[in-house]
Amino acid sequence: MASKNYKINIAGKTYDVEVGDISKSPVEVSVDGTVYQVEIPESVGGRASGEQPTLAPKPLAAAAVSRPSIPDSLDDGVVRSPMPGRILSVNISVGDTVTKGQPIFILESMKMENTIASSIDGKVTSVHVAVSDSVQHGQTLAEIAKG
């Protein structure tokens, strides 16, 4: 079975999605060039009777999707979003001195507040987001120079 291409819109952002052969699991799904392996549960669609499965409108459990690993933050001073969400609080400004473990952002994701802390001691060299910005998993939020 050939792959199918879609343009989908999520929270105002358009994505190019290519879905591979859905007659077997895992299915290879490409989102804006990033490839994911997606498990389709047996209960989705009628595969036993030879019918093509229908993808459920609700997302699969997080464990069912494998994606490239992007660390929340590295010792290089780049602070990245650990998940998609919305920035509720920015507790730093360019020029501020921060310590390892200091809360620097509050991120709302799936109606839960998540504290994002500095991974190093240093000085804030740039802040890439503001309150109420929507962010994606792995997006750079700030940069901190070791100090």
What domains can you pick out in the chain, each with its CATH number? 4-66 (no CATH), 78-146 (2.40.50.100)
Rounded Cα distance between 95 and 112, Å, is 29
Angle (CA) 44 25 11, round 5°: 65
CA atoms within 13 A of residue 1's CA, in its CB half-sphere: 15
pTM more than 0.85: no
* Beta pairing, strands 112-117 & 27-31: unpaired
Q: pLDDT 10s digit of each residue in the chain, 147 long?
A: 677 888 887 767 777 888 888 877 788 888 877 777 777 766 544 444 455 555 544 444 444 444 444 444 446 789 999 899 999 999 999 999 999 999 999 999 888 899 999 989 999 999 999 999 999 999 999 999 997
Sign (positive or negative) of CA dihedral 70, 67, 16, 11: negative
Look up residue 15 and give its two tokens. 């994505």
Beta strands in 13-139 (DSSP E): 13-19, 27-31, 34-38, 65-66, 78-80, 85-90, 97-98, 103-109, 112-117, 122-127, 134-135
| The predicted structure's pLDDT at residue 52 | 53
